[in-house]
Structure 1
Amino acid sequence: MQKYIGEVMLIITAIIWGSGFVFSAVSLEYFTPYQILAFRFTIGLIILSAIFYKRLKKIKKSTLIRGLVLGILLYLAFLLQTVGLQYTTPSKNAFITAVNVVIVPFIAFFAYRRKIDKFELTGAFLAIIGIAFLSLQFTAEVNIGDLLTLACAFAFAYQIFYTAKYVKDEDPILLTVVQMGVAAILAWIALLIKGDTNFSFEMEGVLSILYLGIFSTTLAYCFQTIAQKYTSETKAAIILSTEAFWGMVFSIILLSEVITARMIVGAVLILLAILISETKLSFFKKKDLLDNNLFQNK
């Protein structure tokens, strides 16, 4: 049961992140990328600290160290993605970021010498192909923005991997609080270095930032950390990769984006990826076993 609760929480996280694409687009009309990151991580830290303040007394040294690692990886991933976006297209930025889904199983393989699950690996590659159909404008040119975004994909992959590793022995809430705190501090340092201290207070921009801070950061990363206690890092990466699918859904609903055949193909491939990694084609295995038994009985 806990396994399914974890997977449901990851799906909710992906849905929230998918909707976040729309609110990020709106917030960028009023704030710089560095301001958005500083605000969203700070909001996450304040909300989590206010709700779980009694738990803060139980923070262990190991939680601080592990939260520090996750916070650095999280902010580094967002920073590389943000800077990379200045030199490449949004579609390539989104696609290359999603490459983390195929990086995660190999990180686990080299770290643990654990056999790669062929169904999860197949699902990972199907997911990345589906995301390519959803977001990528097919151009062969590679630039510095693409390379920075690829580094961002590795940072996100390691963040997912280490979250799965650390959360087995830590309180997921406290781990998330420390992670948010570290990311917020790094975000404000970067903002001050950039000199982005002129802030907008337009209501539309403020509401978008609040959505990103409350839902896309606080709730989503809480759910991700808790959920990874009950599922593998590869399966978590595959489920989280559906944010591209949900981003498409919300763009169609809220921004009136036109559905294309390419979008439909991409969506089908992503859903197939989840089906394969989740069921491991157990339906076909059972069917083959049944056929073999019938054959032997004859």
Structure 2
Amino acid sequence: MKKWLAIGGLILVTVIWGGGFVASDMALGSMKPFQIMMVRFLLASVLMGMISMGQHKKEGKLENRAGAIKAGILMGIALFAGFALQIIGLQYTTPSKNAFLTALNVVIVPFIAFIILKKKVGMKGIIGAIMSVIGVALLSLNGNLTLSLGDGLTLLCAVGFAFQIFFTGEFVKKYPASVLNMVQMITAFVLSAVSLVIFGENDLQVTTQGWLSVLYLGVISTTVCYLLQTACQKYVDETKAAIVLSMESVFGTIFSIIILHEVITLRMVIGCAIILAAVIISNLSETEGEAKDEEIQCSNF
């Protein structure tokens, strides 16, 4: 029952994140990328800090505080990298493309697990990777076979999010989710503030739509969603979670069409469909292997 509730929670996360692509696009109308990120993660840091303090009183003293902080910092660096590249890329591409290219983080997760934990990548994982390349080509390549700046940055952001999903799946088994999330958000906020100063984005002239958009991003799309994601990944492994989380690309496209009236071409639909299929297929090998292992274990009793 807990596993299915966790999957339901992750699906809710994808719906909210889908709306986040539209909110980010609307916020970019009056705010610069690192301004959005700084306000977003400031809100999330304050809220996560309040939640963490409440949890700390209930749970008592944290045994390995240094380990939890290091883990949260790693998660925060990966989160910052993913969001920074995603929102900068969104300035040069459409929300639907941004959403589907971001979803490729799911294909990358098993390869990160292979490099770091030596987890075997099955044939379906390799097929999924090949399919994702074909999907990206259909969705993003220009006539001269070049990739636009926006799409290229979004592909790189997928690597950042893949590491964030991987780290979350590993660290949430060892440390309290509230502490991990608080440190993760504070890390992302600090990196966003530093980047804002470095890139000279100090002039803040925000419209009402911009404030409402960044409020949604900070409170709902970040605080609520990452609390849900971290809690749910206690009961769902990182690759299965990645499959579910990939649905944010579908909701992102749906919201882009409904709210932003984005025009979708047949080539884009085919490319998106191939990427979504690749995302699912790339993780089927592990879920099938787990099912066989469970059957063997059950037969031994």
Name the TM-score class by shorter chain: 0.7 to 0.9
> Counterparts in 2 of 1:155-170, with a 5 A limit?
155-170=160-175
2:37 is matched with which residue? 37
- Asked if the contact 1:95–1:136 (Cα under 8 Å) also holds between the matched residues in 2, the reply is no
Q: Deviations over 1:98-134 (max 9, x none)?
A: 322211111112222223355666667767867877x
- Look up the equivalent residue of 2:225 and give its one-letter code: A
- Look up the equivalent residue of 2:209 and give its one-letter code: E
The alignment-based identity, stated in percent, is 42
Over the residues paired in the alignment, what is the CA RMSD in angstroms?
3.3
Tell me if 1:112 matches 2:123. Answer: no
Aligned length: 281
- Look up the equivalent residue of 1:30 and give its one-letter code: S
Deviation at 1:280, TM superposition (A): 8.8
Q: Deviations over 1:75-111 (max 9, x none)?
A: 122223344456x534665444332221111111222
2:86 is matched with which residue? 81
Deviation at 1:279, TM superposition (A): 11
> Counterparts in 2 of 1:66-215, with a 5 A limit?
66-85=71-90, 88-90=92-94, 93-116=98-121, 136=140, 139=143, 140-142=145-147, 147-215=152-220
Q: Deviations over 1:130-163 (max 9, x none)?
A: 7877x64655213666554443222211111111
Q: Which residue of 201, 221, 224 corresponds with 1:219?
A: 224
- Look up the equivalent residue of 1:79 and give its one-letter code: A
Q: Secondary structure at the match of 1:176?
A: helix
2:256 is matched with which residue? 251
Q: Secondary structure at the match of 1:53?
A: helix
Seen in structure 2, the aligned counterparts of structure 1 residues 18 and 159 have a Cα distance that, compared at 3 Å, is same
Seen in structure 2, the aligned counterparts of structure 1 residues 192 and 43 have a Cα distance that, compared at 3 Å, is same
Q: Distance in 2 between matches of 1:132 and 1:8?
A: 32
Q: TM-score, normalised by structure 1?
A: 0.79
- Asked if the contact 1:104–1:158 (Cα under 8 Å) also holds between the matched residues in 2, the reply is yes
Q: Distance in 2 between matches of 1:4 and 1:127?
A: 28
- Look up the equivalent residue of 2:36 and give its one-letter code: I
Tell me if 1:233 matches 2:238. Answer: yes
More displaced, 66-75 or 45-54? 45-54
Seen in structure 2, the aligned counterparts of structure 1 residues 102 and 274 have a Cα distance that, compared at 3 Å, is closer
1:51 is matched with which residue? 51
Q: Secondary structure at the match of 1:54?
A: helix
Structure 2 unaligned runs (5+)? 292-301
- Look up the equivalent residue of 1:224 and give its one-letter code: Q
Tell me if 1:20 matches 2:24. Answer: no
- Look up the equivalent residue of 1:48 and give its one-letter code: M
Q: Distance in 1 between matches of 2:122 and 2:232?
A: 20
Seen in structure 2, the aligned counterparts of structure 1 residues 136 and 240 have a Cα distance that, compared at 3 Å, is farther
- Look up the equivalent residue of 1:212 and give its one-letter code: L
Seen in structure 2, the aligned counterparts of structure 1 residues 263 and 96 have a Cα distance that, compared at 3 Å, is closer
Deviation at 1:258, TM superposition (A): 5.1
